[in-house]
């Protein structure tokens, strides 16, 4: 996969992802296990890299994260406004 970043960010969900995961009481490993139940090949290290803003996230991963964490897509990307400012 080609490495793409915007203003040195790999994704726009890293902060909200961690917040939602902690609100659900999941460890990174537990969230990865939930994602694997949805047939996604994601492990704890990948969750960690996403939360540290070191890895891109695909659209289907975002959809599954929303399902596992019981949050809306809109809530998860809410912090995106800072990336769109001129």
Q: How far is CA 27 from the centre of its chain?
A: 14
- Cα distance between residue 52 and residue 24, in whole Å: 19
Place of tokens 């803003």: 53
Q: Which residues contact 48 (CB under 8 A, 6 or more apart)?
A: 28
Q: Which domains does the chain have, with CATH numbers?
A: 14-81 (1.10.260.40)
- DSSP 8-state symbol, 9: B
Backbone angles phi, psi at 6, to 5 degrees: -130, 120
28-37 per-position pLDDT tens digit: 999 999 999 9
37-55 per-position pLDDT tens digit: 999 999 999 999 999 999 9
pTM of this structure: 0.86
pLDDT-based confidence at residue 63 (cuts at 50, 70, 90): very high
């Amino acid at each position: 996969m080609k490495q793409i970043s915007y203003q040195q960010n790999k994704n726009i969900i890293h902060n909200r992802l961690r917040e939602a995961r902690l609100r659900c009481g999941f460890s990174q490993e537990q969230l990865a296990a939930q994602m694997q139940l949805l047939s996604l090949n994601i492990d704890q290290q990948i969750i960690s890299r996403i939360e540290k803003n070191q890895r891109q996230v695909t659209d289907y991963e975002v959809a599954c994260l929303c399902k596992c964490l019981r949050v809306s897509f809109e809530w998860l990307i809410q912090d995106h406004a800072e990336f769109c400012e001129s």
